[in-house]
Structure 1
Amino acid sequence: MAEATYTIRLDTLEVRMGLGIHAEELAGPQRVLVSVAMTCAYPAPPEDRIDAVVDYDRVREGIHAIAVSGHVMLQEVLCDRIAALCLADPRVVEVTVRSTKPDIYPDAQIGCEVVRRRGQ
């Protein structure tokens, strides 16, 4: 059977973390929303077992661990750390990570998105 490709999504995970360069952001944690889309390649359509696929529980727990590991100045760095976490599983061939800070401006959300491919 031919290779099977799936996109696994973790959308709008809310974490509280230190993120940013401004004084109010350095003063304490803020809400950050994280979304991840992982393109996963399997040798064939997976059997109905969690070990046959990329486990999004591991990704969710990893993002929470990153959030509590210390202040991050830039959203770009946060997105790259999450992308590296996802690409640690060799079945992930591409990942898109988006972070959003919803509470900085009263009239807009600000964010960053990165796309990383295996081998980049």
Structure 2
Amino acid sequence: MGEHTPDRIAVRGLTAHAHHGVHAVEREQGQTFRVDAVLELDTAPAAAGDELARTVDYAELAQRLHGVLTGDPVDLLETLAQRLADVCLADPLVDAVDITVHKPQADLGVPFDDVTVSIRREKRA
């Protein structure tokens, strides 16, 4: 018997102008950042009762993620990703989360499409 594939709720492409980065010009001018959050949880209770209270309100979650994205600047995308994951895992219904942070306007000195940092975090039992 294979393991049950977890249900997922995804918010992709959440976008904000923010000031994360190591370099002074990044802190001063800021740039566009995007976030993808994929939550793992059991949606069956919500589906059975058709009740929002028994699942994740993704509109509310998006507001909280946006608040982190536009909040206190950090040097590293890794730090930002962890803060975003922590917000998701704070919801008691979320078992695990995959976060990807995009920094498409980073200055690499060469042409590129995107820079991303992706992390997966699971709730500790």
TM-score norm. by structure 2 comes to 0.83
Runs of 4+ in 1 over 3 A off after TM superposition: 42-45
Gaps spanning 5+ residues in structure 2: where? none
**Corresponding residue number in structure 2 for 1:107:** 112
Do the aligned partners of 2:85 and 2:97 also contact (CA within 8 Å) in 1? yes
Structure 1, residues 92-111: CA drift from partner, whole Å, max 9, x if none? 11100000011124423111
Which shifted more, 67-76 or 87-96?
A: 67-76
Count of residues in correspondence between the two structures:
118
Tell me the SS of whatever aligns to 1:7: strand
C-alpha distance 9-43 of structure 1, shift in aligned 2 (>3 A): closer
Amino acid at match of 1:67: L
Amino acid at match of 1:113: S
1:45 deviates by 5.4
Which shifted more, 8-17 or 68-77?
A: 68-77
**Corresponding residue number in structure 1 for 2:18:** 17
1:86 deviates by 0.5
More strand, by proportion? 1
Tell me the SS of whatever aligns to 2:42: strand
Amino acid at match of 2:50: D
Work out the CA distance in 2 between the residues paired with 1:13 and 1:6.
Answer: 21
More helix, by proportion? 2
Do the aligned partners of 1:5 and 1:39 also contact (CA within 8 Å) in 2? yes
Structure 1, residues 33-60: CA drift from partner, whole Å, max 9, x if none? 1000000125645322211211111211
Do the aligned partners of 1:13 and 1:35 also contact (CA within 8 Å) in 2? yes
**Corresponding residue number in structure 1 for 2:72:** 70
Do the aligned partners of 1:94 and 1:115 also contact (CA within 8 Å) in 2? yes
Gaps spanning 5+ residues in structure 1: where? none
